[in-house]
């Protein structure tokens, strides 16, 4: 799963340790469809739980999914033309792992932040109509903040697409821009890749595929500043060469 021999998962975690140990709110803007980004988040949770810290994990998964039971809902088994990296096998494994650990007594709460999932062609439940009309980012922020308010001493990690994790809300109110005024210690990192493959969904009616990732001249690891840059992220976390995670099969 971790192919970049120049830097191991332990090395990346060492870079991130100052954020983890300060119980920061950490947003990871992932390129969907890799094995490595869900694995990174799992390792971050491991390190926090081992230090005695409670963890809130926010995921770009529909709020209608009962994530405390694992990846068991219809979102994970939708037809191929609708399967993107948000419902990859790696993401399903992450949800299942967090569910099992919570049942075992670990202080982990997973939040399905996104709006409700309605299967294409099916009737929209009446209770979901108002929710579907809301901004996805505002709804994700609301769902996450409700849990954060209940557990103020927890460290919060969010794994979502980089458009949502940006703290620059000039074009629209992103998840990151909504959270930042409430949590000045928030740090948002853009997920970077330097080669390999990730799972892409090319267009409506077409099945996804493993696509090559351009090789960038960027050091592996994590680096950030006190203030976000023009893209709304404080820095980046680069996992090197990645591998594609296909759709979940449940």
Question: How big is the chain by its Cα radius of gyration, in Å?
Answer: 17
Judge whether 90 and 246 are in contact, CB under 8 Å. Answer: no
Tens-digit pLDDT profile for residues 148-193: 999 989 999 999 999 999 999 877 899 999 999 999 999 999 999 9
Band (pLDDT 50/70/90 cuts) for residue 79 is: confident
109-122 average pLDDT score: 83
Is residue 52 a part of any domain in this protein? yes
What element of type H or E holds 93?
A: helix 89-103
Q: CA of 140: how far to CAs of 55, 66, 103, 201, 202, in Å?
A: 17, 15, 24, 22, 25
Is residue 72 a part of any domain in this protein? yes
Question: Which CATH number goes with the domain that contains 227?
Answer: 3.40.50
Q: Which one has a higher pLDDT value, 205 or 154?
A: 154
Residue 155 CA to its chain's centroid (Å): 15
Q: What is the pTM of this model?
A: 0.92
Is residue 249 a part of any domain in this protein? no
Tens-digit pLDDT profile for residues 211-237: 898 888 888 899 999 999 999 999 999
Q: 148-183: buried (b, 16+ CB within 10 Å) or exposed (e) per residue?
A: beeeeebbbbbbbbbbbbbbbbeeeebbbbbbbeee
Is residue 124 a part of any domain in this protein? no
Distance CA 114, CA 112 (A): 6
Is residue 160 a part of any domain in this protein? yes
What is the span of the domain harbouring residue 51? 9-116+129-238
Q: How many domains does the chain have?
A: 1
- Burial label for 111, CB within 10 Å (0-12, 13-18, 19+), is buried
């Amino acid at each position: 799963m971790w192919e970049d021999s120049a830097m191991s998962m332990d090395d990346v975690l060492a870079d991130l340790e100052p954020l983890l140990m300060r119980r920061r709110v950490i947003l990871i803007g992932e390129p969907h469809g890799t094995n490595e980004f869900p694995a990174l988040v799992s390792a971050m949770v491991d390190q926090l739980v081992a230090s005695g810290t409670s963890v809130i994990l926010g995921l770009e998964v529909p709020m209608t999914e009962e994530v405390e039971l694992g990846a068991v809902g219809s979102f994970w088994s939708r037809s191929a033309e609708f399967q993107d990296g948000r419902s990859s096998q790696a993401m399903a494994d992450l949800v299942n792992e967090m569910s099992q650990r919570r049942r075992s007594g670990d202080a982990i709460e997973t939040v399905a932040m996104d709006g409700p999932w309605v299967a294409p062609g099916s009737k929209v439940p009446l209770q979901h109509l108002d929710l579907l009309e809301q901004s996805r980012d505002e709804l994700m922020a609301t769902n996450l903040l409700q849990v954060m308010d209940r557990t103020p001493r927890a460290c919060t990690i969010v794994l979502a697409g980089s458009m949502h994790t940006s703290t620059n809300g000039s074009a629209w109110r992103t998840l990151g821009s909504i959270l930042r005024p409430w949590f000045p210690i928030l740090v948002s990192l853009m997920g970077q890749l330097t080669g390999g493959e990730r799972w892409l969904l090319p267009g409506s009616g077409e099945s996804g595929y493993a696509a090559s990732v351009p090789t960038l001249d960027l050091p592996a690891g994590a680096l950030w500043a006190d203030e976000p840059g023009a893209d709304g992220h404080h820095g980046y976390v680069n996992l090197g060469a990645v591998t594609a995670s296909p759709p979940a099969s449940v």
